Chains A and B, each alone.
Chain A
Amino acid sequence: GQQLNQSPQSMFIQEGEDVSMNCTSSSIFNTWLWYKQDPGEGPVLLIALYKAGELTSNGRLTAQFGITRKDSFLNISASIPSDVGIYFCAGQFSPGTASKLTFGTGTRLQVTL
């Protein structure tokens, strides 16, 4: 099935640093979502974006829905050790009823003290 391209694939950063990751698609979506997955668990929703150009924050997290509707980025400011995990973007094209998600390839984040 289709996957969205995420970059970087992995990153090692020091505590306190800011992190940026992005996601691109060849097709448009009308919803972009960012999830975090810890080992052996299901993904947890971090931020949802519903409108092209939208910039939304959730604590230290900020995400934007690209104007072209084909990309999105996620920023994490002042990283802490518990930010470790895998971050996935997901696109959704939903004409009114529940519809499927297409996930990105994931960005593995490791934070060192």
Chain B
Amino acid sequence: GAVVSQHPSWVICKSGTSVKIECRSLDFQATTMFWYRQFPKQSLMLMATSNEGSKATYEQGVEKDKFLINHASLTLSTLTVTSAHPEDSSFYICSASRANTNNEQFFGPGTRLTVL
């Protein structure tokens, strides 16, 4: 149990376009979902925390108007990178946590975004 999926697994887009990444908890209801960004050979950096039905909480330095997060249900969160630029190219990873599991986060497989 506790499987998290992401779609797409990779995406290439032109500069200036918007890209949506989905994160789904397949076999549990996620009370909270997290979005991370990982640049090559670097660690995971938390971008934002989202709870179902409420606005996401963004980390310092992350533009909320550029990285739109929607957590419409207990099994789905989406991250939209608006007006993407080459510097947004990165590996985006989501995680989901559920109640009564010692706050454990279950990670998705990641989405590789390349902006040309």
Contacts and interface: CB of A to CB of B under 8 A. Distances in A.
B110 A42 contact: yes
Given A1-B60, A1-B61, A48-B104, A103 B43 contact: yes
Contact of A106 (B31, B43, B46): B43
Contacts of B102: 31, 48, 50
A42 B103 contact: no
Nearest to A105: B43
Nearest to B57: A100
A101 interface: yes
Contacts, number: 58
Interface string A20-59: 0000000000010001000011111100101000000000
Main secondary structure of the interface of A (DSSP, over half): loop
A70 to B, nearest CB: 18
B34 A42 contact: no
Interface string B88-114: 000101010100001111011110100
Interface stretch (A11-19, A60-68, A71-79, A91-99): A91-99
Contacts of B109: 41-42
Given A88-B43, A106-B43, A100 B49 contact: yes
Contacts of B103: 31, 92, 94, 97-99
B59 interface: yes
5 contacts: A3-B45, A35-B107, A44-B107, A99-B103, A101-B105
Interface of A: 1, 3, 31, 35, 40-45, 48, 50, 88, 92, 94, 97-106
